Amino acid sequence: NEPSHHMAYLYDRAGRPDKTRSLVKRIMEEQYSDAPDGLSGNEDCGQMSAWYVMSALGLYPIAPGVDDHYELGYPVFDEVTLHLGNGAQWYMRVRPVVDAVAKDPGDRIGRPVTDVRHARMQMGGGMDFDLERIPRARIDPAFQGTLKGAYVDGPGPTLQAAPVIRAPSASFSTSMEVLVEGRGTCRVTNKGGMDNCPMNTPFMINSTSTIEVDWSDDLSPVTGHFVRHEQRISITLESEYANQYAAGGDDALIDGIRGGADFRTGDWQGFEGQDVLFTLDLGKGSKVDSIGVGVLQDSRSWIFYPEYLDIAWSSNGRMWSSRRVQPGVGREVEGIIHKDLWSGPIGGKVRWVKIMARNGGPCPDWHLGAGGRTWIFLDEVLLSRP
């Protein structure tokens, strides 16, 4: 439901603000209530509530961070005062047009408008709506000398777009081209130390690197981390991961990128209701001390550690050794837990590795999703070398 939230406000930009007001009013009245099912759809990190709060104020950002205009809709309250971060105050007020003009000709309500700039709000003042909730441009006496009532196009600082770091992938095997677009100062840090990097001109990286762009005195730098992984390793998956938890595709488990403490980061690969089986080819026989796999448990999200891992290895593809590894954490343990499960000492040359993660079965009876299919989430195969 979230992608449709801005649609009602697009009528403002199509020249039909009356439709924006009508639809926003209808959505607030029909799709929200104080009942247990008072949100029409998925709250999803507060988006549904945020839409209502902004709409009830009479403001809505169509493209935050890119466009500093708020569309004006249908305020629920007769008067609201916003206390802004810079100390200024901005009010949204409903009052009769005739009364306002008669009582205070110098503080009159003027022509209808459909939006207001964030930069203008930061200067202080306010916006009036008539009794039909139609927003009117109003000349605030405090600003007559400089603003002339220009609510939409008044002068003031504009939002600066943050720089964008563009790259084909978050990991690479040999080298990769990176482009940093925008304004700021770019630095790249890798095993060779720290160096400057160009803005708006492509450049190459050939080792694990962190790119940082300073672009504002008040805001944090924009950063990107890119990992170089071993080129000669290949993986063959015999299980199918979920499209929404692909973590970059078939090579996700050998790309050198760790998943962190949240399965939603995009760096965990998820498998629903099945065992996970795959084979690694290290390209040539080499000494390996131990083999590990990163696993995640978040029982509230139906994600559980594998019941066990079977890890097998071979130097010639004919003679195999194997070891079974238990996670040591029960399914009843709540919270988000991620750990690396290791095979223990191998002490020999390895060319091929086979790993099977055993799904522990449906959600247990005590779980809210009792009987539902559970997930296994993996982020990386780990090789400890001498």
Domain interval for residue 122: 2-147
- Using alpha carbons, select from 96, 92, 151, 157 the residue that is nearest to residue 126: 92
Distance in angstroms (rounded) separating the CA atoms of residues 354 and 279: 4
Stronger pLDDT, 160 or 278, i.e. the higher one: 278
* Same domain as 183, residue 67: no
Contact criterion met (CB below 8 Å) for 310 and 327: no
Distance in angstroms (rounded) separating the CA atoms of residues 359 and 272: 9
Let me know if residue 155 belongs to a domain: no
Q: What percent of the chain clears pLDDT 90, i.e. is strictly above it?
A: 63
Task: Give the model's pLDDT for residue 144.
Answer: 34
Distance in angstroms (rounded) separating the CA atoms of residues 42 and 265: 19
pLDDT of 112 > 90? The answer is no
* Same domain as 132, residue 41: yes
Task: Give the model's pLDDT for residue 82.
Answer: 94
Last residue of a domain, one of 228, 250, 278: 228
* Same domain as 246, residue 369: yes
In the beta sheet, which residues pair with residue 297?
337
3 state SS of 4: helix
- Using alpha carbons, select from 158, 165, 164, 12 the residue that is nearest to residue 74: 12
* Rounded average pLDDT over 93-111: 52
Give the H or E element holding residue 294: strand 290-298
As for how many domains the chain has, the answer is: 3
Let me know if residue 262 belongs to a domain: yes
- Using alpha carbons, select from 265, 251, 321 the residue that is nearest to residue 296: 265
Last residue of a domain, one of 203, 228, 253: 228
Task: Give the model's pLDDT for residue 272.
Answer: 98
In the beta sheet, which residues pair with residue 61?
70
Average pLDDT, the chain: 87
pLDDT of 2 > 70? The answer is no
Q: What is the CATH number of the domain that holds 114?
A: 3.30.2080.10
Q: Distance from first CA to last CA of the chain, Å, rounded? A: 52
Which of 124-128, 180-184, 185-189, 357-361 has the least mean pLDDT?
124-128
Task: Give the model's pLDDT for residue 66.
Answer: 74
* Same domain as 135, residue 26: yes
- Compute the residue count for the chain: 386
Distance in angstroms (rounded) separating the CA atoms of residues 262 and 305: 14
Q: Which two structure tokens, joined as six digits, stand for 40?
A: 């029409």
* Same domain as 378, residue 322: yes
- Using alpha carbons, select from 184, 179, 185, 223 the residue that is nearest to residue 201: 179
For the beta carbon of residue 160, count every other beta carbon within 10 angstroms: 14
* Same domain as 207, residue 238: no
* Same domain as 206, residue 100: no
Let me know if residue 156 belongs to a domain: no
Last residue of a domain, one of 213, 228, 243: 228
* Same domain as 211, residue 76: no
* Same domain as 260, residue 224: no
Let me know if residue 272 belongs to a domain: yes
* Same domain as 244, residue 220: no
Per-residue pLDDT reduced to its tens digit, 290-322:
999 999 999 999 999 999 999 999 999 999 999
Task: Give the model's pLDDT for residue 152.
Answer: 38
3 state SS of 338: strand
Contact criterion met (CB below 8 Å) for 386 and 290: no
Stronger pLDDT, 40 or 308, i.e. the higher one: 308
Let me know if residue 47 belongs to a domain: yes
Let me know if residue 184 belongs to a domain: yes
Confidence of residue 40 (pLDDT cuts 50, 70, 90): confident
Q: If you ran DSSP here, which 8-state letter would residue 257 be given? A: -
pTM of the shown model: 0.62
* Same domain as 238, residue 223: no
Let me know if residue 157 belongs to a domain: no
Per-residue pLDDT reduced to its tens digit, 221-258:
999 999 998 878 999 999 999 999 999 899 999 999 99
Contact criterion met (CB below 8 Å) for 256 and 247: no
pLDDT of 145 > 90? The answer is no
* Same domain as 259, residue 124: no
Stronger pLDDT, 175 or 69, i.e. the higher one: 175
Task: Give the model's pLDDT for residue 26.
Answer: 93
Which of 80-89, 119-128, 276-285 has the least mean pLDDT?
119-128
Task: Give the model's pLDDT for residue 148.
Answer: 31
Task: Give the model's pLDDT for residue 130.
Answer: 81
Let me know if residue 40 belongs to a domain: yes
Contact criterion met (CB below 8 Å) for 306 and 360: yes
